[in-house]
Structure 1
Amino acid sequence: DGSMPELPHRNLDTGMGLERMAAIMQHKTANYDGDLMQHLIKLGEEISGKTYDADDYSGASRSLRIIADHSRAVDFMISDGILPGNEGREYVLRRLLRRAVFHGRLLGIEGAFLTKFIEEVNAQMGEAYPELLKNVALVKGIVASEEERFSTTLDNGRVYLDEALAALAEGAVLPGDVSFKLHDTFGFPIDLTVEIAGTAGHDVDMDGFTACMEDQKARARANAKGDAWGSFNDVWVELSDKVAATEFDGYDNDVIEGAKVVAIVRNGESVESAAAGEDVEVVLDRTPFYAEMGGQQGDAGKLSAEGVALTVSDTKNHNGLYAHVAHVAEGTLTVGAAVTAMLDAERRGFLRRNHTATHLLDAALKQVLGEHVSQAGSLVTPEHLRFDFTHFEALSSEQLKAVEDLVNQQIFASKPVVTRVMGIDEAKAAGAVALFGEKYGDVVRVVSVGAEDQPFSRELCGGTHAANTAEIGLFKIISESSTGSNVRRIEAVTSKGALDYMADRLALVDAAAAALKCRVDEVPARVENLQAELRETSNKLKKALTGGSSDAISSAIDSAVEVGDYKLVVAELQGLEAADLRNVWDTVHQKVAGPVACVVASVTEKGTPALLAAGSDDAVKAGFHAGNVIKQIAGLVDGRGGGRPNMAQAGGKNAAGIADALAAAKTALGA
């Protein structure tokens, strides 16, 4: 009626957000019944074959709501720059993603499905939220990667959990040490353990789980090196109260004369002097030596005065005090003495080249892979560079070549490397790349590569750099790998390192050509021919081992039993590897007419057991499920495994359990 009465409790959010307003306008009584969620719930119905009931708050309807809600949240979170991790909001994202996958399993969805929900979210909300459409590749790539990884976790942990639950009496509590092993060994989230156990009618001993967690933390603390509290009372903290921060003057200078020694540290203690033969850390009032920061290794070189000489192997930064890690080669150095600080200019040159190359690499990765790429760590040494970055999958050979080509294009174009000092706001407005989580002052150093108005790269950086990209000479990627979830690593070399790398590789090719007794340009074809010969020989051996003439397989086929509408072959073999068991299945499939399935096992050359269950499409339609069979019997060989309805495999540690495993398979299948 237009009146504005006081709320019963003042200053509380009414909760009238977009979803609730939309539900009211659509004459619905719940958010999930509005069109924003119904599109996603209907997709869940199509994929799972289950029916949604708006009045049911358990079972399939609950799972459909959870998947709809979580998939949308996941899409928005990743589009907003959050990546799955183990802390803070990253952990929240990972839990949402994994919970959605788990509820998909509860609905009977076996394969990957979450990217379909991402596509539906984008279709419904992309126009209003365009950032979703800008990051489609990133979101779908991360979701697919996390779903695959967690599906493996679910398969492995679920076998162990199901066995533990099956051993409990009706209504009994799952012990805390069991849920902790799931968490610690299998990476199985405790909230999912609680959910699965609850579905089976069991509570989880959370006090016991917490106690196990505390024991683990106590062991970790006991094994930790050093005294954490002591780090707040070490010599460097004490010196920082007495000595002014070191003035770094090494961007343009390789040598500084008359630098004053303000402190000497030997074996963790401040001393007044250091004699020949001693290893010390020397602090100067000013220095051309760059201390290790931002991934760039510290400088090396020499400190000298009349009758005194020190060799510096590294430079460290202790809260603004630059410590020159040095060996006294001659004379005695005292606090207050004036020295000449001369860095190793050649070594610094290689550091500068490699550091500038990391900036070029960062920019090239963004161009090839997308703007989601951000630095996650780096190492710059005179010999090589290492660059960690956020990305959801391994780079293809084509992508690596494109990145390498982009960097080399900038090198061959002789682009200037320009350094400017400016305010932090001005730097950000100019498009300078800042590292997430890094703390910057009001005044920053900005390093740009290329034209000032349109640089190829522009980053906030305090390190030393080449004056021109031509100094880098050549850039060569030597490896690309994973360092963790959604983080990739590239290692590369430049200038002399690149030349040495290429020379080593050419020497290897020459050696290969000599061993193969052919010209260098014939090596690929010669290797391909040898591989073909090897495959042919290997296939002949496998056929001899697993073909229809094998007495063991022939006997097992002759002893096949009828299980409902298909025939079941069970066999124990010797000396076959896990991959060879698939050839056994091929033989069985070829030799037995009509619907057929098999469960076979072997002791490999290493003495470990290998299991395989497989079935024809008709056998699967008749009720055979290879994945379920393997899950039930793998534990009997101290193993774990799983797979699709038509084929699944498992390895183990206890070969003595093979007979029991095959017997259990027969019992489970009603043979």
Structure 2
Amino acid sequence: MPVFNESLLRTRLFVSRGFRRGKCPYCGHHYWTLNPSQDNCGDQPCTPYGFIGNPPGTFRPESIRDVRERFLGFFERRGHTRINRYPVVARWRNDVYLVGASIYDFQPWVTEGVVPPPANPLTISQPSIRLTDVDKVGRSGRHLTGFEMMAHHAFNFPGKEVYWVDETVEYAHEFFTRELGFRDDEVTYKENIWEGGGNAGESFEVLVRGLEVATLVFMHYRVVGGEYREMPIRIVDTGYGLERIYWVLTGKPTIYEAVFGEFLSRARGLLGLPRPDEKLMASLAIHMGQLDPEVIALDKAYVEVARRIGVEPTELINVVKPQETLYVLADHSRTVSWMINDGVIPSNSGVGYLARLLIRRMLKYLYSIGAEVPLAEIFNLHLNYLVNDYPELKDSRQLIIELVGLEEGKYKSAINQLPKLMSRIRGKVTLEDLINLYDSHGIPPEVVRDEAAKRGVKVDVPDNFYEILASRHQRPSRGEEGGKVDVTADDVIDLKPTRELFYENPYMFTGKAKVLKVIKGRYVVLDETIFYPEGGGQPADRGVLRFNGLEAKVVDVQRAGPVILHVVEGPVPNAGDTVEMVIDSERRLGLMRMHTGTHILLQSIRRVLGKHVWQAGAQKDIPFSRIDVTHYRLPTPEEVRRIEELANEVVLGDIPVKAEFMPRNEAEAKYGFIIYQGGVVPGGTVRIVRIGEGEDMYDVEACGGTHLDSTSKVGLIKIVKVEKIQEGVVRFIFTTGRYALNYVRGLEDALEFISGKLGVGRDEAVKAVDRLLKELNEANERSRLLARKAIDADLAKLAKSTLTINGVRVAVYAEDYWVKDYLQELATRYQGDVLILTHGREYQVYTNGKVKAVDVAKALSEIGGRGGGSVTFAQGVFTKPISHEDIINAVKHLLTQ
């Protein structure tokens, strides 16, 4: 950890204006203020809110949009470039799923100096999502899962200073005092250290009347293995809470009433809930702010707040709980709408898990107040207001409503399973049991607790249960690192980057190169290569290296940083040798068809199923390839047919395919974040593959694979299979070119075989199959009729042979029809207690539970049987010939002992 740099935070504003530096007696943090009587840091829980019902400042916004525009305009007038907000799903990163702050937009590429910022300095209002406080939402009065972080950023490169601590604090003070009209002595600056996304730095938390409204971070550390290291770039990273500032300026009882006021009014009418007493809610917010659930358990917090404001705890809870539900619905529905709009499909894994978590938390609250209004109707109502601030939600509105409706259906189905699931749990219900019931079946812990109470079992649900869940799923899981070759960075550190001829001309199938080094006797490094190394879901090329009359077989090609390794078998060349490279051209062309076909197919899927579709994985191979996409259901046959038709229309269109390297920022600005369909691409430069140009561009992606130069060279694209591989992910298996032709020929051969068996021509095969099925159904019906008659006859025989042994009716019968369905129906219709059926040396035991079938099997083991079973069914074999009388005697012995 670094030494906290106090001098860095002793700004010229504080010195020139006479700010006083104090130390909070409660939390120990230092703070700067112009208020001579202030004796603490001014933050929760050290001081109560002082703005509720008495808002500070002179600016009275009509809407939250007024505050956003006031902020962005302020910084634009001070030389900052306004940039558009980024998506809430961080597609450009592989370490987090969601954008949690505006600085996430620029990590790691800008903050590491790999690419320049989109503007410098800049200002933005970035929708952000944090689930670290999800359990406090609706309860504390101030916590949100989704919020807008207004910010201004400056990136100070060596020799190119923009501005640093002094100017940042002066901007903040000027904004709060001159733009919003707060008094100088109402704004407090609390010293702290901020860390996030791999970076850190000293910071000020800006506080107004007990509420943190902004954070000013002076980022100059990189966090590596828990250690802080100085960065060459110093970054001004600020975050101004749009919703919190609006709350302060309105003086509403809670942040929810301020931000979602119109929706809450309509939702109360829809759900039949009363409007709460504003003074009560204001008191609750003030006291809950000082009794954060991090410090005191929620149930105890309600008791303490009730004591302080002079009401009974039960009375307080009865008033608060319905409002808590409304607040959760308001916050979560906005967050989920943002997520779905950016391509998230609620599911049980990945970022979809987090969306489902929020939806199920909403449903749990909705049902807890006995509301029968569908959750989709709540979303529909809220979207009427959200589209004013987020017009992009208009296009995804129907998808959002449809997905929420599907999720509610799944939730209800899960709840119906609970009694059965609870019967499997023995003893105490642990936290891990609660987590497993949620993760595996989607059942909220509160519902488990209520069901357990019916069974006399007490279940403790942590107040932060959903935070625990979210923390386990906040980041993508990292697969095992390490490549397919045992080569280290030290092995290639002295080598220059390999020239990648496969990018310069993907149709170059032969060429010459010089051997730079041979590592461990089987890894050959050339100065340049036509061999494509495995990557981006595309397998490596295969081929040979010829030298000095010898030939080495290239069995694999892998990257080791900027160096390409050729894994060889057979004779190995020496460093300095010139080799002739020959790749398997048919294989390469097949893979190029598959890769270009993957891009065509992905875009065709998006155009048919919707823009929410994102690639979730792909493998380009021959003779078949696959692409996994996010989608909430299995596509219909008509949709699959349309996708295939659209893809082949692109092939027939003979559209040019072009690839070029571009600076990352330039590519993002020109094409948007859709370029990351194939996943995160590292580095400051990305290789962009375009199908078409301008308005006629069909697809654009950042991709490192080899591609054809025209869609017409892909040949036929044939979808072979579509399957749901996990919730929210659909897999398309497809083939292209001559492999597609071979597949179609295989289908024709199968049809020819079937036609031959049916004795008709191929054109008549369908009609012949229909006739055959009709005849088969008629035969089955006749068989069922005959079986019923046979069962009736067997039952009559069983009735005559049934013995009563110690009050138990038993029949032993040698059955000729050893067919599962037949035996089960016979056993079901048998009126006795124990039925033993034999067929040669096999036996089956059916009981109605009066006697355990497994006990009968044990009795039969005494006379040479071997088997086992359950209470009502058992089966086994006899190891020697057993007579009817032997079985009867064994049962008698069981029932009379």
* Fold match (TM-score > 0.5): yes
CA distance in 2, matches of 1:134, 1:609: 59
Measured in 1, the distance between the counterparts of 2:440 and 2:727 equals 17
Q: Report Cα offsets for 1:12-65 as digits up to 9, x if no partner.
A: 4358838975996999997399431243344445xxxxx668462577775565
- Pairs aligned (count): 537
Q: Deviations over 1:221-251 (max 9, x none)?
A: xxx99xx799899532331333333221123
1:17 to 243, 250, 261: 243
What secondary structure is seen at the aligned counterpart in 2 of 1:262?
strand
Match of 1:254 in 2: 509
Q: Is residue 36 from structure 1 mapped to residue 226 from structure 2 by the alignment? A: no
Structure having the higher helix fraction is: 1
Among candidates 361, 376, 390, match of residue 115 of structure 1: 376
Q: Secondary structure at the match of 1:656?
A: coil
Match of 1:132 in 2: 393
Do the aligned partners of residues 293 and 136 (structure 1) sit closer, same or farther apart at CA in structure 2, a change above 3 Å counting? Answer: same
Aligned residue runs from structure 1 range 466-615, under 5 A: 466-538=708-780
Query: 5+ unaligned residues in a row in structure 2: which ranges?
Result: 1-53, 58-181, 189-205, 214-240, 277-315, 470-477, 796-817, 829-836, 838-842, 854-867, 874-897
Q: Which amino acid aligns with 2:544?
A: K
Q: Is the 8 A contact 2:594 2:621 kept in 1?
A: yes
* In 2: Cα distance, 1:188 partner to 1:607 partner: 39
CA distance in 1, matches of 2:847, 2:595: 49
- The 1:233/1:340 distance shift into structure 2, 3 A limit, reads closer
Distance 2:557 2:845 in 1: 51
Gaps of 5+ in 1: 46-50, 214-223, 265-269, 272-279, 554-573, 585-602, 612-632, 638-652, 659-671
Distance 1:550 1:370 in 2: 57
Show the 5 A alignment for 1:647-658: 656=871
> Residues 119, 184 of structure 1: CA spacing in aligned structure 2 closer, same or farther, 3 A cutoff?
closer
Q: Does 1:454 align with 2:681?
A: no
The one-letter code of the counterpart of 1:138 is L
Percent identity of paired positions between Structure 1 and Structure 2: 25
Q: 1:445 to 1:20 in 2, by over 3 A?
A: closer
- Could you tell me how far apart the structure 2 residues matched to 1:467 and 1:195 are? 63
Aligned partners of 1:354 and 1:380 also within 8 Å: yes
Equivalent position of 2:364 in the other structure: 102
Picking from 515, 518, 529, the partner of 1:263 is: 518
- Report the CA distance shift for 1:23/1:544 in structure 2 as closer, same or farther (over 3 A): farther
The partner residue of 1:463 within 673, 688, 705 is 705
Is contact 1:374–1:435 with CA below 8 Å preserved after alignment? no
Match of 1:392 among 632, 657, 664: 632
2:585 to 332, 339, 345: 345
Tell me how far apart the structure 2 counterparts of residues 656 and 297 of structure 1 sit (CA, whole Å): 54
2:547 alignment counterpart: 305
CA gap 1:373/1:52 in 2 versus in 1, 3 angstroms: same
The alignment partner of 1:489 has SS state of: strand
Report whether the alignment pairs 1:434 with 2:696. Answer: no
Taking a change above 3 Å as real, the CA distance of residues 499 and 65 of structure 1, as seen in their structure-2 partners, is same
The whole-number CA distance in structure 1 between the counterparts of 2:249 and 2:784 is: 64
Distance 1:161 1:360 in 2: 48
Q: TM-score by structure 2 length?
A: 0.51
Matches within 5 A, 1:318-467: 318-328=560-570, 331-431=571-671, 433-435=674-676, 438-452=680-694, 454-467=696-709
The answer to whether the 8 Å contact 2:675/2:700 transfers is no
The one-letter code sitting in structure 2 at the alignment partner of 1:656 is V
C-alpha distance in 2 between matches for 1:610 and 1:97: 46
CA contact (8 A) 2:497 2:562 kept: yes
Q: Which residue of 2 aligns with 1:93?
A: 355
Distance of 1:155 and 1:607 partners within structure 2 = 34
**8 A contact 1:386–1:489 mirrored in 2:** yes
Q: Over residues 406-464 of structure 1, what are the superposed CA-to-partner deviations in whole Å (9 max), with x where a residue is unaligned?
A: 11112112222222333333333442742165134333322222345522222222211
Instruction: Give the SS at the match of 2:494.
Output: coil
Q: 2:534: which partner in 1? A: 292
* Counterpart contact for 1:175–1:205, Cα < 8 Å: no
* Deviation of 1:505 (Å): 0.3
Structure 1 residues 289 and 189: CA distance shift in structure 2, 3 A: farther
Post-superposition CA distance 1:152-195 (Å, at most 9, x none):
4443345323675xx77xxxx63456446636765656676567
**Quick check: 1:446–1:459 contact (8 Å CA) kept in 2?**
yes
User: Distance in 1 between the 2:615 and 2:737 partners?
Assistant: 23
User: Taking structure 1 as the reference length, what is the TM-score of the superposition?
Assistant: 0.67
Q: How does 1:133-212 map to 2 (within 5 A)?
A: 133-161=394-422, 164=425, 174-175=429-430, 178-179=433-434, 182=437, 186=441, 188=443, 193=448, 202-204=458-460
- Write the distance in 1 (CA, Å) between the matches of 2:596 and 2:844: 52
Structure 1 residue 145, shift from structure 2 partner: 4.2
Q: In 2 relative to 1, CA 514–575 (structure 1 residues): closer, same or farther, beyond 3 Å?
A: closer
Instruction: Give the match for residue 70 of structure 1.
Output: 332
**Conserved? CA contact 1:315–1:325, under 8 Å:** yes
Letter in 2 for 1:31: E
Contact 1:609–1:654 (8 Å) recurs in 2: no
Q: Write the letter of the residue equivalent to 1:93.
A: A
Work out which of the residue numbers 218, 234, 238 in structure 1 matches 2:490.
Answer: 238
Classify 1:185/1:483 alpha carbon distance in 2 versus 1 (closer, same or farther; 3 Å).
Answer: closer
- In 2, are the aligned partners of 1:387 and 1:490 still within 8 Å (CA)? yes
Aligned counterpart, 2:19: none
**Distance in 2 of aligned mates of 1:538 and 1:530:** 12
1:614 paired residue number: none
SS in 1 for 2:502: coil
AA matched with 2:742: D
Q: Comparing both chains, which one has the higher relative contact order based on Cα–Cα distances under 8 Å and sequence gaps of 6 or more?
A: 2
Greater shift, 427-436 or 247-256, is seen at: 427-436
Give the Cα separation in 1 of the matches to 2:350 and 2:757: 56
For the Cα contact (< 8 Å) 1:22–1:34, is it kept in 2?
A: no
C-alpha contact 1:476 1:492 (8 A) present in aligned 2: yes
- Contact in 2 for aligned 1:20/1:31 (Cα 8 Å): no
User: Are the counterparts in 2 of residues 383 and 493 from structure 1 also a CA contact under 8 Å?
Assistant: yes
In 2, the alpha carbon distance for the partners of 1:19 and 1:37 equals 20
Paired residues of 2:348 and 2:439 also in contact (CA < 8 A): no
SS in 2 for 1:415: coil
* Counterpart in the other structure of 1:667: none
Matches within 5 A, 1:207-222: none
Whole-angstrom CA distance in 2 between matches of 1:257 and 1:246:
13
In 1, Cα distance between the equivalents of 2:668 and 2:847?
58
